[in-house]
Amino acid sequence: MSRIGKKPITVPKGVTVAIGNGEITVQGPKGSLTRKVHPGVRVSVSDGSVLVELATDDREARAAFGLVRTLVSNMVLGVSEPFKKTLEISGVGYRAELKGNLLNLQVGLSHEVNHPIPKDVVCVVDKQTTVHLTSPNKELVGQVAAEIRAYRPCEPYKGKGIKYSDERVRRKEGKKTA
């Protein structure tokens, strides 16, 4: 049985949790999130905390037990304090610009890349080389950041490309001359 799944989730003030029809809805000052709950796991709210329990004792339910607890915990945290990812762009002529809900990237390709930003994600471009993404949905912020980074991952020789702000790029030594 999951040790993480057994822990209760404390609900901060201003956040409401509703459960019904196999879904859990969490509302707070920064937004509202809804997610389907695995049928082998039961979620209940009591005394300002959310408890996750096994409904059935089959292998699939036990595997989903800790996952469901973590997903609900991320929902509760996200609606009170949104999750944030920061991407840094480095390289000569590499830059980003926000045009409506499209992020325009110039990252050394033969064409400009226009990446659509979902409506739940707030994107801010700072100094054309830093992109800040925030959203109450942790999964969505991570997915959008990974898609943007995938256009030009940071390469190890010159360090050019798109990287997370907390990512460390291991630099390699170039070719030796004879």
**Among residues 161, 167, 121, which one has the least CA distance to residue 144?**
121
C-alpha to C-alpha distance for 52 and 75, rounded to whole angstroms? 14
Q: Give the predicted TM-score (pTM) of the model.
A: 0.83
- Give the integer Cα–Cα distance in Å for 167 and 149: 12
- Per-residue tens of pLDDT for the chain, all 178 residues: 567 777 888 888 888 889 888 899 999 898 889 999 888 888 888 888 888 888 888 888 888 888 888 999 999 999 999 999 999 998 888 899 998 889 898 888 899 889 999 988 999 998 888 999 999 999 999 999 999 999 989 888 988 899 998 888 888 888 887 6
CB atoms within 10 A of CB 119: 8
Instruction: Measure the CA angle with vertex 88, ends 82 and 90; round to 5°.
Output: 170
